[in-house]
């Protein structure tokens, strides 16, 4: 089941908005596609990101994948724990493996992202397409 307290992007990131701040991570589907995650590279606090800008890299043993920020804003926190323990992305993608927090610049951007139900439909289509 997909957590319903957040929004989802077509690139398989999630963002959970609370009090003007958005916590960003990748979805369970994304971590399964990647396989064992062994490396995560995140930006510095203070970096300004526009929506769908690349903010980092995530690597499994076999693949390199770019991370896209679903909403615009300044990075106010990054998860150092996941940098030291990349395997958390596989074991807890919606929890301990959050990647960063941005100060959301434009709450309106959230409405263009998918709800859990919409993302599920999107995944079902990807699976069969």
Partner 1 sequence: MSTSDSPLKRTPLFDLHRELGARIIDFAGYEMPVEFGGVVEEHLRVRTKAGLFDVSHMGEFFVFGAEGESFLQKLTPNDVSRLAIGQAQYSALTTETGTFVDDLLVSRTGESRFLVVVNASNVEKDFAWMESRRPSGASLVNASDDYALLALQGPQSEAILRPLTDVDLGAMKYYRFAQGRVLGEAATVSRTGYTGEDGFEILVDAGAGEKVARGLLERGASRGIAPIGLAARDTLRLEAKLALYGNDIDEDHSVLEADLEWIVKWQKGDFVGREALARQKEEGVARKLVGFEMVDRGIARHGYPVFASGSPSDTVTSGSFAPYLKKNIGLAYLPAASSAPGSEIEIDIRGRRAKAVVVPTPFYKRERK
Window 54 to 73, contacts with partner 1 (CB under 8 A):
57, 59-62, 64
Whole-Å CA distances, 9 to 57, 84, 85: 16, 26, 24
The reply to whether 121 sits near partner 1 by the rule CB under 8 A is: no
Beta bridge mates, 103: 21, 74
The reply to whether 35 sits near partner 1 by the rule CB under 8 A is: yes
User: What stretches of the chain show up as alpha helix (H) in DSSP?
Assistant: 28-34, 80-84, 88-91, 116-128
Helix, strand or coil, per DSSP, at residue 39: strand
- We find the least distance from the C-beta atom of residue 35 to partner 1, in angstroms, to be 6
Window of 31-39, 73-81, 103-111, 112-120 that interacts with partner 1 by CB under 8 A: 31-39
Helix, strand or coil, per DSSP, at residue 16: strand
The reply to whether 74 sits near partner 1 by the rule CB under 8 A is: no
The residues that touch partner 1, with contacts defined as CB under 8 A, are 35-36, 38-39, 41, 57, 59-62, 64, 87, 90
């Amino acid at each position: 089941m997909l957590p319903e307290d957040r929004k989802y992007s077509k690139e398989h990131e999630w963002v959970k908005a609370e009090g003007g701040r958005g916590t960003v991570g990748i979805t369970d589907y994304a971590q399964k596609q990647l396989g064992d995650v062994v490396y995560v590279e995140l930006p510095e606090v203070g970096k300004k990101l526009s929506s769908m800008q690349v903010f980092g890299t995530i690597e499994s043993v076999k693949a390199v994948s770019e991370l896209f920020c679903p909403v615009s804003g300044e990075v106010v926190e990054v998860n150092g724990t996941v940098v030291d323990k990349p395997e958390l992305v596989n074991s807890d993608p919606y929890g301990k493996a959050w990647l960063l927090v941005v100060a959301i610049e434009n709450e309106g951007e959230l409405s263009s992202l998918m709800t859990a139900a919409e993302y599920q439909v999107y995944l079902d289509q990807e699976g069969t397409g």
